[in-house]
Structure 1
């Protein structure tokens, strides 16, 4: 049982970026899409068409 306890924390210490980075990117993209939906902060201007 001690081997499982020792491997699990080391696994998370080495691979926490693979969990944190996708979550941060997803939140950033969703937030950017929500902000761009207003039209004031929009990379795609549909108002001209």
Structure 2
């Protein structure tokens, strides 16, 4: 469910990363950091507008 949400929210930018997640499963910490960066980017984008 979480992976589908990420793919839905971030689209093609996350395809490479989620592709790894489905096949290779990187450590959860990597995924947490990835989400932090994405959320920060989204937050900064909304702050500008």
Fold shared, TM-score > 0.5 on shorter chain: no
Class of the TM-score when normalised by the shorter of the 2 chains:
0.3 to 0.5
TM-score normalised by the chain length of structure 1: 0.45
Q: Which has the higher contact order (CA 8 A, sep 6+)?
A: 2
TM-score normalised by the chain length of structure 2: 0.45
Larger Rg: 1
